[in-house]
Amino acid sequence: MASPLAGVRVVELSGLGPAPFGCLLLADLGAETLTITRPGQPAGAMTRNRSLLELDLKDPANVDRFLDIARAADVVVDSYRPGVLERLGLSPDRLLARNPGLVVARMTGWGQTGPLAARAGHDINYVALTGALHVAQRAGEKPTPPANLLGDFAGGGMYLVVSVLAALADRARSGAGTVLDVAIVDGTTYLTTMLHEYRNLGRWSDEPGTNRLDTGAPYYDTYETADGGYVAVGALEDKFFQQFADLVGLSAADRAGREDPANWPRLRERIAAVIRTRSRAEWTAAAHGVDACLTPVLSLAEAATDPQLTARGVLSRAGADRWVPRIPLGFVPDAPDPAELLARWGVPADRDGVEPLPPPVSA
């Protein structure tokens, strides 16, 4: 199977977090991706499969060169804060004037509009404002951010890719480009759809750690094992809970009234006591082949050698104890030298003989 995005040309203005991750995925799917970095800027995280080109966009000559590049591109990903492109003379209007079919994806935390648009922030701030961080806490404890997976990469990077693909599909019908205002707060809020739906139906409490999916239910939680490890239990449905109960030896009295929150403290205490009697490896082995929804909690290093992940081929070895996640589809093209890539795109090496550029429109 050919790379799904073969022939799609993406230009990324280097940034942090969601934009590099989104462009990584686009490149892994076969898009020819050129990342523009500032002079002297080291290659950032998640640029492993891209062509890198240094350009000082404060130099008017390099602004003209960028416009030549954008004219040959399908997508430009802007990871700067609102207003920066305009100050550089590279407003979306000017880019679209050069290339009417261009998709300009502006990736920010707060978005291009709203009272916080000009403010700085990071993943923890964005997920806090959307309510997503509030649900990541146990009863009586403080919220615990899940690294920057939820905002930057799910609500940001993945949302960016979906938005770009949708815009490319629309362009295939209409021939017109567009400007996308992609914000982490938007994407993360969308991720909370089910929780809002449950809350609207009266099935989700605003009190942390009291719901079935936020460690309120004892059959959806983590438990410490005899050797100091942890296992995760997700036996939500009754048929899986019964198999879990058989596995750990719960009595009929233990199992009674499992859906009643009044019984949860007692059931949690009983499960915790049983899980502490064996090591993590012993529980992993005991749960093998049983639909008890019990799995070990692995570190990143341990995950690399897990049989399921190994069978799926989603982690590639990159050294003695180094691993690189890959999409299971397997489309990871080699990135050419930037000069070779631009020649393939038909972008001139210099501006001699190239039509004059219109002046930028004042922001």
Rounded Cα gap, residues 44 and 30, in angstroms: 20
Q: Which residues pair with 178 in a beta bridge?
A: 103
Rounded (5°) CA angle 100-179-186: 165
Beta strands 51-54; 32-37: pairing state: parallel
Copy the structure tokens of residue 137: 């806490």
Rounded Cα gap, residues 51 and 49, in angstroms: 7
**Among the options 74, 152, 221, 254, which is catalytic?**
152
Residue 45: name the closest of 35, 56, 54, 60 by CA.
Answer: 35
Rounded Cα gap, residues 292 and 62, in angstroms: 60
Which amino acid would we find at residue 99?
Answer: N
Rounded Cα gap, residues 131 and 126, in angstroms: 9
Q: Is 152 a catalytic residue?
A: yes
- Give the three-state DSSP class for 277: coil
**Among the options 64, 122, 170, 181, which is catalytic?**
122
Rounded (5°) CA angle 7-157-216: 145
Per the listing, tokens 């964005």 go with 126
Residue 284: name the closest of 247, 325, 314 by CA.
Answer: 247
Which amino acid would we find at residue 207?
Answer: E
Q: Is 288 a catalytic residue?
A: no
Q: Which positions ≥6 away from 351 have C-beta within 8 Å?
A: 61, 64, 65, 68
Annotated catalytic sites, by residue? 122, 152
